[in-house]
Each structure stands twice: as C-alpha cells, then as structure tokens.
Structure 1
Amino acid sequence: MKVKDFINGQFQGRHNNLIFYTRGDNTYVRRYAIPGKKRKWETEGRTPKQQAVAIRFKAVQVFYMTFTKQVSPEIWRAVAKTVGRHAPNVFFSRNFHCFGEEGQIADFGNFMFTDGTLPLPRNLKVSGEGPLFKVTWQEERMWKTVSGTDRLQIGVLYDNDSRIPRVASQVKGRRGELHGEFTLDESIGKKAHVYIFFCNETGTRFSACRYFHVKINS
C-alpha cells in the first residue's frame, strides 16, 4: 500500500480485498471483487432499494452524456477543473439527489443545470407570455471576475420532454446591457423549466444558474 499523506493519514492502494483511495481531502474504502466469486446481489438479486438506486445512477449517466452533446461539454469540465475531479463525477455529486426512483428529474428547483466561478447578476427576472421571453437583472459590480461582455445563456428542460437538456434559441443579452431575451420552441412544449446562466466571451468560464418555470400562453 502507498501512503499518500503520512501526516493526515491518507492512504492509496490495495490491502487484502480492500482498496483505499482519496478524492480531495477524503479517503474512501471499497471491497475488491475476488475473481470468480459472485457478489451477493448477483446470487440473491437486488433489493427494491438497490434497484431504484441503480435506475437513478444510470439515468444521471445518460443525462450527463446527453448534456455534453446537446448543451456543452465544457461547462462541467470547467467546474471539475477547479476541484480536481472528473466532470461526470462532479455532475453526479451535485445532481444525483434531484432524480427520482423512475430515473427522471424530480426536483427541478434544486437541479444544477450549470455551476461555475463566474458570478450571477443580481435580481434576475423573467417576463413575457412566450414564446419570446424577456430577462432583466441588476449589475453594479466592477470586479475583475466579471465583464460587461459576459453572455446570457438559457438552459431548458421542457415539461413533457425533461430527459433532454437543451439551450434556448435566439438568445440575446450581455451582462452590461442589464437585459436580454430568449425564445422557446412551442412545438416541443408549452411549459418549460428554464435555467439562466452566463458565460464569458471566450466560453471558458461559466456561472451557476437561476431557476424559473415558464409557460407559453400564445
């Protein structure tokens, strides 16, 4: 076994049938599967609780893969880089609890469509009857971490198709303008969970998101 940090007691490696590994400041232990020996769930079957967890686990994996293709592969990579972890693992740790036992998102309000180091503007608001919606905000900060050219972005999960993450079309707005707009596709659905976030001009830094639920009344 390799001692990774003797002072803090962090270990890494295998001892008998146990594997020790670290993630950040935490040390974890898991059993090593003995070749040829079946695990308990393989011989006795999974319990209902284990089945539900397996469904949720698979659902989060599939959702993340879809997110990288439909939205962006860079958002969660940027988050992961700041904490020294892999992007899928960070997304999983932030959002697993938001998925229900049937594999669909059950807690849209706490779901993190995005995260990041770029600050969100204050007092974000959405208005409009749809399919065109207006977004307004306040921003008096003159920090080095923000710029007036930061771009408004809109993540979307339609009520009737929430397994597919999307970005809204025809999004306009820069941080310094204090307002923007976006359009939803009413051919997909009349109601949608909307996640407002910002990215810098080069698309390398992103903000956390603010959640709204909107309806197209036209």
Structure 2
Amino acid sequence: MARTKGIGGLQLSGKLGNLVFVPYGDETIVRMAPEKRKSDSWSQKQQEHRRRFYGVNVLYRKVKQEFVEPIWKRSATKKLTGYNLFIKANLPAFGEFGQLVDQSLLHFSCGPLPLPKNLSAKRSGDQPSEVHIRWNPRCFTQQEAADDELCLVLLGDPYEARLVGCGVGRGAGAYTLHLNEQQAQEHPALFLFFRRNDASYYSDDKFFRL
C-alpha cells in the first residue's frame, strides 16, 4: 500500500491495471487489487461484516444529500472523510444480516457544537400529539450561541429521514413538537441536535423514543 497526493489539484480514484486508487481525506491510497475469492472462502464473521457494511451503505446512499454532504463532511479530517465517519458511527445499528436492528444507535449529525445541558423530550400527558422539548438555555462555552438553531429528525422509516430546522434558538430553552395523527399513535424515534445559525457548525445528536 502506498499514499500519494493529488496531481494538479485532482484526486485519483478508480482502478488502473492491478492498482486501485482510493480517496482518503486529502490523500489517495494506492494498493493492489484483491484477488477474487470464492464465496465459500469467507469466514462467518467476514460474511456478517460484509452484510452489515452493505446495510449501512444502503442507508448512506439514502441520506447522503440530506445529512452527509452538509453535516458529516464538515467534521472530516485528513484521515477520515465524511463518508468514513458516517459509516463508522452507524455500523453498530445494523445486524449480522445487514438489517437495521437498533434505531437508538443511529446518528444523523456530528460536530463540535455542544449540546445544551438537560436536553429532554417528553409527550404531553394531556395531548399525546404534543412533544415538549426542553433544555438549559444558558451558554456555558464560547462555542455556544443563543441563536444556535434546534434541529430534529423524526423517524418513521429511517431511509426517508429528513432534517427539520425548528426555527428556535438555544436561548429559548423550549420547543413544542406537534405530531400528526399517525405519529401520535406510534412511538417514533426522535433525534435532536443544534446547528450554528449559518449552518457552519453542528452538534452531535441525541436519541429519544417518544
């Protein structure tokens, strides 16, 4: 395996003869193309890992434009791309057959922006269609700002996940989410996070089961 920088600002990618060029951060890894293996030569653990990897890649392709491009790429490093970070974070949510087994292990946001303290989400006892989201409105670090916007992902089908900007700042300390009739009858997964008002920074997300 060898590493090379892009040539003239271009980054090589693909296969040339028996060499494979793989983008990795701001470098390109050059390695020998693997020999084809018979399907029965994989160990059980290797087969399970391949199926899990396939499963998380299906999710990646579905949410790439909505989440990976605007959020995860901002946390990329010289060694880890946004794709690498997303796959690593979400792989534990998938089972041995490549199926999604635990929504609570999914992640749709990551970044250096701190989450507020005491972030919570609970359904109203009087109105099951209302979800009261609360947090400490104080800013404890220089990274936090009162106008950091609350964002959420409300999951039915994770492969149809959509980012919702709530239009409420960190300084408000509260937000009420209104569920539709179908959502109110179910127990959907809710992911909460914050972003800078110019969308330049994001926080990690936090999972809630409603």
Q: Please list every run of 5 or more consecutive structure 2 residues that lacks an aligned counterpart in the other structure.
A: 5-17
Q: Hey, what does 1:41 align to over in structure 2?
A: 38
Match of 2:107 among 109, 112, 126: 112
Match of 2:186 in 1: 190
Aligned CA distance change for structure 1 residues 183 and 45 (closer, same or farther; 3 Å):
farther
Structure 1 CA distance for aligned equivalents of residues 3 and 209 of structure 2: 50
Equivalent runs, 1:143-154 vs 2, <5 Å: 143-154=141-152
Shift of 1:124: 0.6
Q: 1:121 aligns with which of 105, 116, 123?
A: 116
Normalising by structure 2, what TM-score? 0.73
Q: Secondary structure at the match of 2:194?
A: strand
Structure 1: give runs of 5+ residues left out of the alignment: 5-16
C-alpha distance in 2 between matches for 1:199 and 1:110: 21
Two-structure CA RMSD over aligned residues (Å):
3.4
Displacement of 1:41 in angstroms is: 2.9
Q: Secondary structure at the match of 1:116?
A: coil
2:116 corresponds to which letter in structure 1? Answer: P
- Percentage of pairs with the same residue: 27
CA distance in 2, matches of 1:163, 1:151: 24
Which residue does 2:137 correspond to in 1?
139
Runs of 4+ in 1 over 6 A off after TM superposition: 1-4
Q: Distance in 1 between matches of 2:3 and 2:131?
A: 56
CA contact (8 A) 2:190 2:207 kept: yes
Question: Bigger shift: 59-68 or 178-187?
Answer: 178-187
TM-score, with structure 1 as normaliser: 0.71
The aligned amino acid for 2:203 is S
- Number of equivalences: 190
Q: Match of 2:57, as an amino acid?
A: Q
